[in-house]
Structure 1
Amino acid sequence: MERRRVIGWAARDSSGLLSPYSFTLRETGPEDVVFKVLYCGMDHTDLHQMRNEIHMTNYPLVPGHEVVGEVVELGSEVRKFRVKDNVGVGCIVGSCGECLSCKSNIEQYCNNIILTYNGTYKDGRSTQGGFSSLMVVDQKFVVRIPEKLAPEQAAPLLCAGVTAYSPLKQFKGSKKALNAGILGLGGVGHLGVLIAKAMGHHVTVISSSDKKRVEALEHLGADAFLVSTNAAEMERAANSLDYILDTVPAVHPLQSYLPLLKVEGQLILVGVAPQPLHFSSVDLILGKKMISGSFIGSMEETQEILEFWAEKGLTSMVEVVKMNYVNKAFERMERNDVRYRFVLDVAGSNLE
């Protein structure tokens, strides 16, 4: 089939500034889904990649891995989707399909995953993301957007949402009341609060200042708010939490938060910090505590979070912007000046 020329917005160097960029999609294969991009979420990882702060960046780079689109064409072997369906693509667009992770439906841990952007297809071509007019993706890495879920609402669930859902899924249906801590109230954190509350957990938001107290308690429905720089508050909260979902994408002191956990409590890292984090082994040993990590989610879990969101009638708190505002939006994201996720209206933007 003929290769399509599309317009995206790309970073050319480590300044991370985005501007229009024309490129061609790979040829459509029998297992591929071609879709017009409608919306794309904006993530802190985009900023890190655009600036070459993690995972050596290949420029020009078209970011975007919370992509919602409308199917315009299907490969001959695709049966699970139809033209005009709303579909989603998250952080990965390929894996080896043969390893234990792939065969166990946790393909995000395959050593040969193909990232949605700044990755490499098996033919050597670079992948480009959802800050573009059109994408072509293998059907195995495409999910269905439920009919009653608005596309701009679905976008943040494809990375931020499933990043919170995947590690919290282990607590779903727990027979005992769980006390949850959500550290950081950004894109992933606000979704973590909503997911944990919908699972029936008692949720404490942990933040470095009092600024987000009203938002956490009144807008998101958290049960408690804890200021990590307030020593008296932190001491009173010691040994109170079953788990902490740590969503902070920056360097921060883990030893401040480990005392909050009960015996056998878990600190789950999902925020990607660009430098190493530090803690004392004593804090783990005296309490049989655990630090673990979780990377996005599987394709199965990505579909699950979309269905969970629709079933529970949850609402993502997003600010929808046009592509010509994208550089300003990243500046604001860096200042935490967004409640809580920017979503690009790609289809409604002039990309030229």
Structure 2
Amino acid sequence: MCEKCETGVEILTRNGEGRRNFLRGGAAVAAAPLAAAGFSGSRAAAQPSDALAQSEVQAWAARDTDGTFAPYTITRREARPKDVVIDIMYSSICHSDIHTYKGDWGMPNFPLVPGHEMVGRVVGVGSEVTKFREGDIAGVGTMVDSCGECVNCLADREQNCLNGTTFTYDSPDQVSGGVTYGGYSKRIVVTEDFVLRIPPGVDLAGFAPLLCAGITTFSPINHWDLKPGQRYGVIGMGGLGHLAVKLGAAKGAEVVVFTTSQDKLEDARSFGASEAYLWSDEEGLRSQMASFDLMLSTVPVAYPMQQFLNMLKLDKTLVNVGALFPVEGAHGMMMGFGRQSLAGSMTGGIAETQRVIDFAAHHGVAATYEMITPDQIGEACERVVNRQARYRYVIDMTAA
């Protein structure tokens, strides 16, 4: 087991190289075909000449803020020289998809095709692609392009592109015009710099959620340098939170979970937590005061945070990755007395996303999920809203 996997901050690129050179290394090309060869239930890859052409693709779109999903045909562009064409096998439902179609962050463009956690088979590559070959298994996450030139992009933080990140769905499409369409579809075309390699021998459906939920929870662990033996609190244990627990445990941290669901206490321990408490357990929460080196809030709605900020040691940080709304209940005097930090984080760059995929494969981490078919998307989204998901819904696009 390498030292970098167990201690210190994760190194995002090898020997200081930019992520584009790193991801184009020979090892990246060699690993993915093994995963393709090991998957027995896939369809045959299309002929390259057909796969590279513009195509009409079956998708499933939300038609309104009620989440009424129906089949919808979209156009995928003709592949450019640096494009990768992927037939999507598995695409998972993120709470962000629900916030988007409900208009929680502003009215979306309907029909809306969500989905930014997907794994599939490469069926075509442009003439200048070096990272992938037909038959490889690849993933696409929360973004599909950025300027590549600003200070943030050059620092491997494409998600913070100063000239405008192109997100995977409902984002202005800088190539084809209109808006981007996501992974609730049977095919996607993406420039190779935003395609992730999926290691051989993993649960492909269980790896799809790593493309958003995994990197969203791993990036703070990496940035705030969570070390083995440190106390790490996870607030909320849904799609994001259960991966936060698994990844923290894989880092060797002492993981403690805080949940509002009685039936998740035992699950938390099975995922690697050493302790788990209900929010209503006042005595249990008091016992955790001033004891944590890092806390991660994965709850998708705003709530009073001060009771959890009080659990931080002096000079430590609570990172919010769940509620992308105005923060509630943080008390300036109390934060000042404990010199506590409340921070935000949202997804991660491409190199860091590849890092969490490789880390998860090395440590045997994958999402816990329930498989559904595309006709069940609307029902599954409602179950997510009602906190009934255990823990990610993954759409089987091969069954469509």
| TM-score, shorter chain, exceeding 0.5 | yes
SS of 1:257 mapped into structure 2: helix
Q: Which runs of 5+ in 1 are unaligned?
A: none
When structure 1 is superposed on structure 2, of 278-287 and 298-307 the one drifting more is 278-287
How big is the shift at 1:211? 3.2
Any conservation in 2 of the 1:268–1:291 contact (CA below 8 Å)? yes
Q: Of the candidates 239, 250, 263, which is equivalent to residue 198 of structure 1? A: 250
In structure 2, what is the equivalent of residue 272 of structure 1? 323
Q: Of the candidates 51, 57, 79, which is equivalent to residue 28 of structure 1? A: 79
How big is the shift at 1:55? 4.3
Matched, 1:50 2:105: no
Any conservation in 2 of the 1:30–1:75 contact (CA below 8 Å)? yes
Any conservation in 1 of the 2:302–2:323 contact (CA below 8 Å)? no
Aligned-residue identity in percent: 37
Letter in 2 for 1:249: P
Matched, 1:220 2:220: no
2: distance between equivalents of 1:273 and 1:136?
29
Letter in 1 for 2:213: A
SS of 1:337 mapped into structure 2: coil
In structure 2, what is the equivalent of residue 127 of structure 1? 180
Q: Deviations over 1:282-340 (max 9, x none)?
A: 12111111011111011011111111111112232111111111111111111111211
Letter in 1 for 2:136: D
Any conservation in 2 of the 1:90–1:158 contact (CA below 8 Å)? yes
1: distance between equivalents of 2:294 and 2:225?
13
SS of 2:302 mapped into structure 1: coil
Letter in 2 for 1:241: F
Any conservation in 1 of the 2:173–2:179 contact (CA below 8 Å)? yes
Matches within 5 A, 1:1-352: 2-111=53-162, 112-123=164-175, 124-170=177-223, 174=227, 177-217=229-269, 219-349=270-400
How big is the shift at 1:64? 0.4
SS of 1:84 mapped into structure 2: coil
Any conservation in 2 of the 1:248–1:273 contact (CA below 8 Å)? no
How big is the shift at 1:244? 0.8
- Matched length: 347
Q: Which runs of 4+ in 1 moved over 6 A?
A: none
When structure 1 is superposed on structure 2, of 204-213 and 127-136 the one drifting more is 204-213
1: distance between equivalents of 2:216 and 2:374?
25
For residues 127 and 263 of structure 1, do their structure 2 counterparts lie closer, same or farther at Cα, with a shift above 3 Å needed? Answer: same
SS of 1:347 mapped into structure 2: helix
2: distance between equivalents of 1:67 and 1:96?
23
SS of 2:263 mapped into structure 1: coil
SS of 2:398 mapped into structure 1: coil
1: distance between equivalents of 2:336 and 2:349?
31
TM-score by length of 1: 0.95
TM-score by length of 2: 0.84
How big is the shift at 1:277? 2.8
Higher share in helix: 2
2: distance between equivalents of 1:193 and 1:2?
43
1: distance between equivalents of 2:235 and 2:226?
22
Q: Deviations over 1:50-87 (max 9, x none)?
A: 11111431111101000111001101110110001000
For residues 110 and 56 of structure 1, do their structure 2 counterparts lie closer, same or farther at Cα, with a shift above 3 Å needed? Answer: farther
Letter in 2 for 1:224: E
